[in-house]
Amino acid sequence: MLRQRIITGIIAAPIALACVFLLPTREFALFIGAVLTVAAWEWGNLAGLSSPIRYVYAAVIAASMAGIYFLPTLPILITSLFWWAIAFVLVVGYPKFDELWGNKAVIVVIGFVVLLPGFAALYALKQFPQSHFLICLLFFLIWGADIGAYFSGKAFGKAKLAPRVSPGKSWAGFFGGLASSVLIAMLMALYWGKPGLLTSEGLAYIAACAGIAVVSVLGDLTMSMFKRHRDIKDASNLLPGHGGFLDRIDSLLSASPVFALYLLFASWL
């Protein structure tokens, strides 16, 4: 399993980075839209939809993403922020509130609130003049949190972070991942030359990057909560060793809207 994960990661990461650097804005949006359409098909599995209906659901999500071109981005991102605040309560209280969100119709609606803001956020990031740096920073923060959590959790993880949702995650892993992301944020700022880390903007930047790492963990835990409710291990088996697309981008879907919101108001850009 570990070998499969490594091989898939070695293939997938360069493809993702190549799309960030090489694709123009419209083509990048099409790429992200294609990935999220597959993720929507997988979300249909989380909702317990039958196979034919899952394709219809994915098509509706794809059409909704196309409609985002004609909508202002800020309200979509703010809506996402409210959802992830609710998701935090649901994860902490799981399974206490599953009677509120556990039915098929509610999970179908939640899919829109998870997938569409993720698309809007990444499309917004691509439109920044510094888009290459910013999207790579987002990727590195998420990957750093994941890798740091894995190794620190392996070495020191005893106290569990959310045992009813994801028994493998520990507080040591959480703080190790957070430290890794903060270090990456500092190194990226030094490489880019801004913001100055000892300025008020720099401190806000570090705090925001730490927040992105925390929210990325929330996205992972939320997806685990839905899979546990559905009693499945992975959203699909499309990616050997990794499960499905949703299993790989859950953290990105939670972190990207928060990151985009921060950048819309960051004066150092």
**CB-hemisphere CA count at 13 Å for 69?**
9
Give mean pLDDT, residues 114-126: 96
Q: How many whole angstroms separate alpha carbon 19 and alpha carbon 29? A: 10
Nearest by Cα to 142 from 227, 221, 216: 216
Name the pLDDT band for 141 (thresholds 50, 70, 90).
very high
pLDDT number for residue 139: 94
pLDDT number for residue 12: 79
Name the pLDDT band for 20 (thresholds 50, 70, 90).
confident
Q: Which residue has the tokens 């569409």?
A: 116
**Percent of the chain clearing pLDDT 90 (strictly above):** 81
Q: How many whole angstroms separate alpha carbon 193 and alpha carbon 254? A: 27
Tell how far CA 73 is from the center of its chain. 18
The model carries a pTM of 0.93
Q: Both tokens of residue 79?
A: 């809506």
Which residues have a Cβ under 8 Å from the Cβ of 65 and sit 6 or more positions away?
33, 36, 37, 115, 116, 119
Q: 20: helix, coil or strand?
A: helix
pLDDT number for residue 243: 81
Let me know: does 127 contact 29? Beta carbons within 8 Å: no
Name the pLDDT band for 2 (thresholds 50, 70, 90).
low
Q: Which residue has the tokens 């499969």?
A: 4
Domain ranges of the chain: 2-264
